[in-house]
Chains A and B, each alone.
Chain A
């Protein structure tokens, strides 16, 4: 497919790289020529210098022949205008825009999605808020991905030094009635091993990625030595777009949410917006403030300051002060493994989370959701198995999926099946497949309808 990406910020880079790696024709458009040059050094994409809301620039980038336009500049207005131009050029183009300000999508009825002619609105803030909610629902996990409307979960668990599973092979975990309902999609130890062998022996500080139906997650975590302490209190540091979105979603879940923001004017504004959240004016790294607000009793803290390195330090401080789980918002993939290795329990990335729905647009077949783990190490794809496609009708063991991929769960008429080698996928099943991103182009052929 031909894809025009407008915006040379971090998200624009991610989108361009992702599509380029999936062998699409990508043209990147932006005003920053230096950034365009860097992009062309790092990936196989075309580049057009210019403002993304200028028709001639977009036409230069090949908009007429494009299948998808992704407008992800920092300016909502530029993104909207780019989509309007795309619609004028051809109705066929799928238009994706990043919209920052929720007011654009509010209930006003005039400026809603259709009249802005945007097919998919991307909001990193909302994506990361959804990820935070999923995390809050599974205590003790470092990563939580929901599939099939929350009936299937992929959960990352870091093994503590006193976990009873240490020294035992993975297959020990899969034994018994409860083990039947689990699958291990990956093990992370310095680097990821996706679809690991069942003979791998677990070590302290390994992170296991389990797939299970949502009711079986709790017993699985218990067997791994995690205490299930429901998330009731959360402190968020930073009252920016992300912090506010997260606070709103968590408060709606009935969680006591506190948000710490330094700027009094911002505090004033967000306290009007957030009825169920306690807004605190103060420094997010102020130990006295944090202790006074009971950080040792919070089940989770989320560092959502404007600066990702500050987030790492805020999360480390929260850990030291006794919170159960500390999450930091980090968007640079290179920082992520490093952040978790120095003790930040959870790393959330608004931009990588926003990448998934965009990726989904370009996939063939009926893809319902894409969720990725960590810095895009493992991709979970939820799709409907098409009649006549390569994965239907054969036992999984005979499918010859590329090494490093596995089917994690199958949802058939509301029943969640955790598959084994003899399981056969039927047409119409909802399948959750885990794989390395590099293998996606090879898998596409297998998944496409005949």
Chain B
């Protein structure tokens, strides 16, 4: 209201752009710089680990990256410093989309400087980390320096909550702009407001996230992991990422306790975080009667039991091992994590079909899990059955209902649009990956696993393989899929449309 109107800037004069556009670009640039400084600060953790272990060249690579990012961020911070309260939706989309690209770009520098990975592979690994995917191009993980491995898992944990959601929780100066960022980064179906202010909501979600993280770390320590393994695997589990510290993933520990603890926490982290708030505020009914949660949990149970039965019937393993491995694999893939304890490619083909389908569904909305989200699948199914009903009673005045209330037409439309776009992007990606020479099962599962942020797939990218052999074009497409899937398609894809830039 009373803020001084800035004089038409030099940029506006030189480029001939409308000052409002330039103002928006300035706000975007300023936020990106804050974001970069945030990333720099978060690199102190892997740097400390690298110094502590001193087992590679990663100390230098983190220090150099932090120096570069710190300089760029600080210079930009003072150069672009501006009032953020007038952030528009347009700006919010740009910040989120460009912010993710930038964070991944800077996040890949330590891998490159360390020397074992080239630019493209480092980019793939970082995108896979921040988006919580967990597909790797590193054949021998245990040969990597520990600081770098820590960073690899830490990116899962940082990316899972969303950088900008974290900002919204921490920076009060955003005002109404906070919501634009929140919407663009955590689009979901609608913003579940636990408290009227978006920043309070974000803080509550962060508290839930931290609580889960601490609880899992303690349980993993009790299970015999050392601090380093416990933290790294916790990052990957709570962030539903899937990078581990061992070549054989969680299977390395051969511990039923660790397996079941991980299964429990994968399930917890792929549950809508808002539900925990209802639980904490004494409304357990809202938790246990939630339609999406029931549907998701039901799918997990049925799939696990089915897979366990098939595995037990078609192989020589004991019933308890079959149940344990089936639950672990199903929950790991459905929660879009991608930890493995068993080579599911050796199981009967029908189990692989079930697992492949789970790559698409993903966890609940409002969790750290990716893919389509259980609620969309549920609503899509409900809509289909509703059409049967409409055919029987053409004059019936009815609505699809969810949790007792009617689902608005607008929400149904957004679900259909999302599903359509998801499948569209999926098919194009499968096509491109096939073109580079991958076989059919590999291409089909690679695109699904990338878009869903799961990690391993089938064929040549199964649980015991990695993505190193893939052609550069395939890697680029898959990283795009990971980012697009993580940002629920629209935020990333909208900046690729000419209409976004035309105004």
Q: How long is the Cα–Cα vector from A2 to B196 in the complex, in angstroms?
A: 9
Assuming the contacts A40-B179, A42-B176, asked whether A194 and B2 have C-beta atoms less than 8 A apart, the reply is yes
CB interface residues, A 161-204, toward B, < 8 Å:
191-192, 194
Is B198 interfacial (CB 8 A cutoff)? yes
Chain B residues within 8 Å of A45, by CB:
196-197
Q: Are B2 and A437 in contact (CB under 8 A)?
A: yes
Cross-chain contact B4 with A191 (CB below 8 angstroms): yes
Q: Which residues of A contact B459 (CB under 8 A)?
A: none
**A260 at interface (Cβ–Cβ under 8 A)?**
no
A46 located at the interface, meaning its Cβ lies under 8 Å from any Cβ of chain B in the complex: yes
Contact, CB under 8 Å: A44 / B198: yes
Are B5 and A191 neighbours in the complex by a CB distance under 8 Å? yes
Q: A25-B195, A25-B197 are in contact. Are A44 and B2 (CB under 8 A)?
A: no
Could you tell me the distance in whole angstroms from the C-beta of B148 to the nearest C-beta in chain A? 40
A371 touches B (CB below 8 Å): no
Asked if B1 is at the interface (CB within 8 A of a chain A CB), the reply is yes
- The residues in A between 15 and 55 inclusive whose CB is less than 8 angstroms from any CB of B are 20-21, 23, 25-27, 40-46
Task: Give B169-206 as 1s and 0s: 1 = Cβ < 8 Å from A's Cβ atoms.
Answer: 00010011011000000000000010111111000000
Point out the residues of chain B lying under 8 angstroms from A25, CB to CB.
195-197, 200
Contact code string B1-44 (vs A, CB < 8 Å = 1, else 0):
11111000000000000000000000000000000000000000
- The answer to the question of A375 belonging to the interface, with a C-beta cut-off of 8 Å to chain B, is yes
CB pair A377–B178 under 8 Å, yes or no, is no
A436 at interface by CB-CB < 8 Å: yes
Taking CB as reference atom, which chain B residue is nearest A27? B196
A25 to B201, CA, bound (A): 11
Distance to closest chain A CB from B153 (angstroms):
34
Task: Tell me which residues across on chain B come within 8 A of A282, comparing CB atoms.
Answer: none
Interface-centre pick from A43, A46, A192 (highest chain B CB count, 10 A): A46
Chain A contacts for B196, CB-based, 8 A: 2, 25-27, 44-46, 62
Specify the main secondary structure of chain B where it touches its partner.
loop
A44 B176 Cβ-Cβ under 8 A: yes
Nearest CB in chain B to that of A186: its residue: B2
Kindly list chain B residues whose C-beta atoms are within 8 Å of the C-beta of A110. Answer: none
- Whether B176 lies near A438 (C-beta < 8 A) is no
Tell me if A376 is interfacial: C-beta within 8 Å of chain B. yes
Interface status of A449 (Cβ within 8 A of chain B)? no
Total contacting residues, chain A, CB less than 8 A: 26
A45 nearest in chain B by CB position: B196
Q: Determine how close the nearest CB of chain A comes to the CB of B198; give it in whole angstroms.
A: 5
Q: Which residue of B lies closest to A191 (CB)?
A: B5
When C-beta atoms are compared, the residue in chain B nearest to A439 turns out to be B2
**Considering only CB atoms, which chain A residue lies closest to B4 in the complex?**
A191
Q: Is the CB of A376 within 8 A of B1?
A: yes
Cβ of B200 and Cβ of A192 under 8 Å apart? no
CA A44 – CA B178 in complex, angstroms?
Answer: 8
How far in angstroms is the closest Cβ of chain B from A422?
Answer: 28
* Contact, CB under 8 Å: A375 / B179: no
Residues on A with beta carbons closer than 8 Å to the beta carbon of B3: 438
Q: How far is the CA of A318 from the CA of B195 in the complex (A)?
A: 50
Of all chain A residues, which has the CB nearest B191? A40
Evaluate contact between A436 and B2: CB separation under 8 angstroms: yes
Q: Which residues on A sit within 8 Å (CB–CB) of B1?
A: 375-377, 436-438
Q: CA A377 – CA B179 in complex, angstroms?
A: 25
Q: Does A306 contact B (CB under 8 A)?
A: no
| Contact partners of B195 in chain A: CB under 8 A | 25, 46
| Residues of A378-425 whose CB lies within 8 A of B | 378, 404
Residue of B nearest to A3 (CB): B196
Shortest Cβ distance from residue B254 to the other chain A in the assembled complex, whole angstroms: 49
A44 touching B175, Cβ below 8 Å: yes
Q: Measured between alpha carbons, how far is A184 from B1 in the docked complex, in Å?
A: 20
Interface size on B, residues (CB 8 A): 18
Chain B residues 209 to 261 lying within 8 A of chain A, measured CB to CB, are none
Are B4 and A44 within 8 A (Cβ)?
Answer: no
Asked if residues B179 and A192 are in contact (CB atoms below 8 Å), the reply is no
Q: How far is the CA of A46 from the CA of B196 in the complex (A)?
A: 4
With a cutoff of 8 Å between Cβ atoms, the chain B residues found around residue A192 in the complex are: 2
**Distance from A373 Cβ to chain B, minimum over Cβ atoms (Å):** 11
A191: chain B residues at CB < 8 Å are: 2, 4-5
Q: Mark A417-445, 1 if CB is under 8 A from B, else 0.
A: 00000000000000000001110000000
Alpha-carbon distance between A282 and B5 when the two chains are bound, in angstroms: 44
Structural contact, B5 and A46, CB atoms closer than 8 A: no
* Residues of A close to B193: CB separation below 8 A: 46
Query: Taking CB as reference atom, which chain B residue is nearest A375?
Result: B1
Residue of B whose beta carbon sits closest to that of A436: B2
Chain B residues near A375 (CB-CB < 8 A): 1
Q: Which residue of B lies closest to A40 (CB)?
A: B179
Task: Give the Cβ gap from B351 to chain A, nearest Cβ, in Å.
Answer: 45
Contacts of B176 in A (CB 8 A): 42-44
Q: Please measure, in the bound complex, the distance between the C-alpha atom of A72 and the C-alpha atom of B197, giving whole angstroms.
A: 21
Distance A436 CA – B3 CA, assembled complex (angstroms): 9
Residues of A within 8 A of B199 (CB): 44
Contacts of B89 in A (CB 8 A): 41
A377 and B200 form a contact (CB under 8 A): no
Name the residue of chain A whose CB is nearest to the CB of B200. Answer: A25
Interchain nearest-CB distance for B277 vs A (Å): 13
Task: Let me know if B197 and A377 touch, CB within 8 A.
Answer: no
List B contacts of A378 (CB < 8 A). 2
Q: Which of the residues B2, B172, B198 comes within 8 Å of A404, measured between beta carbons?
A: B2
Which B residues lie within 8 Å of A42 (CB)?
A: 176
**CB contact under 8 A between A377 and B175, given known A26-B196, A44-B197, A44-B198:** no
Closest CB in chain B relative to A36 CB, distance in Å? 12
CA distance A42 to B178 in the complex (A): 11
How far does the alpha carbon of A44 sit from the alpha carbon of B195 in the complex, in Å? 10
Chain B residues with CB under 8 A of A20: 197
List A contacts of B175 (CB < 8 A): 21, 44
Minimum Cβ distance to chain A for residue B411 (Å): 13
Q: Which residue in chain A gives the minimum CB-CB distance to B193?
A: A46
Nearest CB of B to A69, in Å: 14
- Near B by CB (< 8 A), chain A positions 123-145 give none
Bound CA–CA A75/B193 (angstroms): 28
A187 to chain B, nearest CB (A): 12
Please report the C-alpha to C-alpha distance between residue A62 and residue B194 in the assembled complex, in whole angstroms. 11
The chain B residue sitting closest to A21, CB to CB, is: B175
Let me know if B5 and A44 touch, CB within 8 A. Answer: no
- Whole-angstrom distance between the alpha carbons of A42 and B87 in the complex? 11
Closest to B195 in A: A25
Q: Name A333's closest neighbour in chain B (CB-CB).
A: B1
In the bound assembly, the distance between CA atoms of A27 and B200 in angstroms comes to 13
Min CB distance B189 to A, Å, is 14
Least CB distance from A321 to B in Å reads 34
Binary CB contact string for chain A from 47 to 90 against chain B (1 if under 8 A, 0 otherwise): 00000000000000010000000000000000000000000000
Chain A: which residue is nearest B177 at the CB level?
Answer: A44
Most buried by A among B193, B198, B200: B193
Name the residue on B nearest A19 (C-beta): B196
Q: How far is the CA of A25 from the CA of B196 in the complex (A)?
A: 5
Q: Which residues of B contact A376 (CB under 8 A)?
A: 1
A33: min CB distance to chain B, Å: 9
Which residues of A lie under 8 Å from residue B197 when comparing CB positions? 20, 23, 25-26, 44-46
CB distance from A177 to the nearest CB of B (A): 33
The interface residues of chain B lying within 8 Å CB-to-CB of A438 are: 1-3
Interface residues of B in 309-335 (CB under 8 A from A): none
Chain A hits for B200, CB < 8 A: 25
> Chain B contacts of A2 at CB under 8 A?
196
A435–B296 Cα gap in the complex (Å)?
A: 54
CA of A2 to CA of B195 in the docked complex: distance in angstroms? 10
Bits for B282-299, please: 1 = Cβ < 8 Å to A, else 0.
000000000000000000
**Residues of A near any B CB (own CB < 8 A):** 2, 20-21, 23, 25-27, 40-46, 62, 191-192, 194, 375-378, 404, 436-438
Sample of 4 more A-B contacts, CB < 8 Å, known A43-B176, A44-B179: A2-B196, A46-B193, A191-B5, A438-B3
A and B contact pairs by CB, cutoff 8 A, 10 listed: A20-B197, A23-B197, A25-B196, A43-B176, A44-B179, A46-B197, A191-B4, A191-B5, A376-B1, A438-B2
The 6 A-B pairs of least Cβ separation, nearest first, read A46-B196, A25-B196, A436-B2, A27-B196, A46-B193, A44-B198
